[in-house]
Structure 1
Amino acid sequence: MNINRTPFFSRLFRALLVITLSTSGTVSASEATASLIQRLEKLQSIEADFVQFVVDKAGASVQESRGVLKAKRPGLFYWHTEPPLEQVIVSDGQHIIVYDPDLEQATVQPVSEQVSNTPALLFSGDVKKLGESYLVHHKQWDNTVDQYVLMPKGADSLFESLRLRFDKDILVEMRLTDSLGQKSTIGFNDAKINTGLSDKQFEFVIPEGTDIIRELTQ
């Protein structure tokens, strides 16, 4: 099996949801964009456990991982993947740290415009201009389940499509298809919304002895 150490959000930062029900309703792209912006602006912070599955273009399993996500507007983000492929990604709004304990290595880079336009923006950034970067489609089932599909407008996007699924205003799933056809599905469990996360929960001290690589924004 080909194991990719780099989880979903790390790939995006460094370069940088499906259900079937009997009845559904669709709205226009502009209405879908406005609906998603309104929903995301209400989400000032989120804390959840996650399970991530990655398959290749042929549908073969590439990776399965678990961990914790925390995010808070503006600009705070924490993503911790559990062993055996442990990795920590932290953003304080100014810099992003990607720490690999097994490699004893950490990458530090400024938050550039490219990074701020990744899916992490949905959780911790300013979403008012979401429609400038994405074409949004929206479907709703039984007045409780909402699905949004984001299609990047830019030719240099890091992914082909991003799908978000909400159940009663709680984010339960995210699915991403990248330019190589690899698909990442992230299920969120026990999500806690707007609980007043402390900024200190996004502070990270790189362990002594770690090889630190500092990248500059081009």
Structure 2
Amino acid sequence: MKKILLTLLLASSLPLHAAALPQFKAFIAGTKTLAADFTQTVSGKQRHETASGSMEIQRPGKLRWTYSKPFEQLIVGDGKTLWLYDKELAQITRRNQAGALGNSPAALLAGSNAIERDYQLREMGKTGDVEWLAASPKKADNTFESIKMGFTNNQLVEMELADSFGNLTRIQFKNLKRNASIPATHFKFTPPAGVDVVSE
């Protein structure tokens, strides 16, 4: 399950009715910072796992994902380096952020506004009050097969990630706060004394 949590950081032919795409563009163009609580569910062959926590993003390039349940994990990106801290294992992994995130959902949310340069966007229709948009990277990515984003009233409320292992990761966001002030220290990480650091 821990691998699935870290992998996260790391379609159909419905008629185009331009509902989710304008919401997505408005959300991206109007969002400099984003904070939210989330619940993440991973389902696949003979598995169903749930995690929860909080996330903060400062665009472009800075992010902080904190998993509080079932394991305490912290993922911090300062724009250059991505730190993955597993408190239970007392281990830290340090990676090049651009290489680690690739075209992942985290990179899509925390990246620049040049979304349509890097992703193929496609309307997926409406389910209840949620308008869905699919985003596929134009460059090959071996981590995931598709990303879907759900919007309501120009707010991102849900994401779905289908990976190459046959797993579906569903992330539901609550208590979203856009453009609130986030301390710069939230996007900096200093390894605690005595904790092993592994570079990849």
User: Do both proteins adopt the same fold according to a TM-score greater than 0.5, normalized to the shorter chain?
Assistant: yes
1:80-107 Cα offsets, whole Å, 9 max, x none, are: 1114322100001111100001111001
Matched length: 196
| Mapped pair 1:208 → 2:196 | no
Q: Which residue of 2 aligns with 1:156?
A: 141
| Mapped pair 1:90 → 2:86 | no
Q: Distance in 2 between matches of 1:114 and 1:104?
A: 21
Q: Distance in 2 between matches of 1:155 and 1:200?
A: 34
Q: Which residue of 2 aligns with 1:21?
A: none
| Structure 2 residue corresponding to 1:26, chosen from 16, 29, 41 | 16
| Structure 2 residue corresponding to 1:47, chosen from 35, 52, 72 | 35
**Cα separation, partners in 2 of 1:141 and 1:84, compared to 1, 3 Å:** closer
Q: Which residue of 1 aligns with 2:158?
A: 173
Q: Distance in 2 between matches of 1:74 and 1:198?
A: 15
Q: Distance in 2 between matches of 1:86 and 1:7?
A: 14
| Mapped pair 1:67 → 2:63 | no
| Mapped pair 1:11 → 2:7 | yes
**Cα separation, partners in 2 of 1:156 and 1:140, compared to 1, 3 Å:** closer
Superposed, which structure 2 residues align to 1:81-160 within 5 Å?
81-113=67-99, 115-128=101-114, 130-139=115-124, 141=126, 145-160=130-145
Q: Distance in 1 between matches of 2:92 and 2:30?
A: 33
1:122-171 Cα offsets, whole Å, 9 max, x none, are: 2221131x2343221125659x7432111233333411110111111111
Contact kept, 8 Å, 2:103 with 2:137, in 1: the verdict is no
Letter in 2 for 1:86: E
Contact kept, 8 Å, 2:27 with 2:156, in 1: the verdict is no
| Mapped pair 1:36 → 2:24 | yes
Q: Distance in 2 between matches of 1:163 and 1:81?
A: 22
* Structure 1 spans left out of the alignment, 5+ residues: 17-23
Question: Once the 2 structures are TM-superposed, how far is the Cα of residue 118 of structure 1 from its aligned partner?
Answer: 2.1
Letter in 1 for 2:38: F
Contact kept, 8 Å, 2:20 with 2:132, in 1: the verdict is no
Q: Distance in 1 between matches of 2:126 and 2:113?
A: 24
Q: Distance in 1 between matches of 2:23 and 2:51?
A: 31
Q: Percent identity over the alignment?
A: 30
CA-based RMSD: 2.6
Find the residue that maps to 2:108 and give its secondary structure: helix
**Cα separation, partners in 2 of 1:121 and 1:136, compared to 1, 3 Å:** same
**Cα separation, partners in 2 of 1:40 and 1:87, compared to 1, 3 Å:** same
Find the residue that maps to 1:82 and give its secondary structure: strand
Q: Distance in 2 between matches of 1:81 and 1:32?
A: 28
Q: Distance in 1 between matches of 2:154 and 2:23?
A: 12
Contact kept, 8 Å, 2:157 with 2:172, in 1: the verdict is yes
Structure 1 runs (4+) greater than 6 angstroms displaced: 31-35
Contact kept, 8 Å, 1:96 with 1:110, in 2: the verdict is yes
1:153-212 Cα offsets, whole Å, 9 max, x none, are: 333341111011111111110100001210000111111111122212222222111010
Q: When the two structures are superposed, what TM-score results if normalisation uses the length of structure 2?
A: 0.85
* Structure 2 spans left out of the alignment, 5+ residues: none
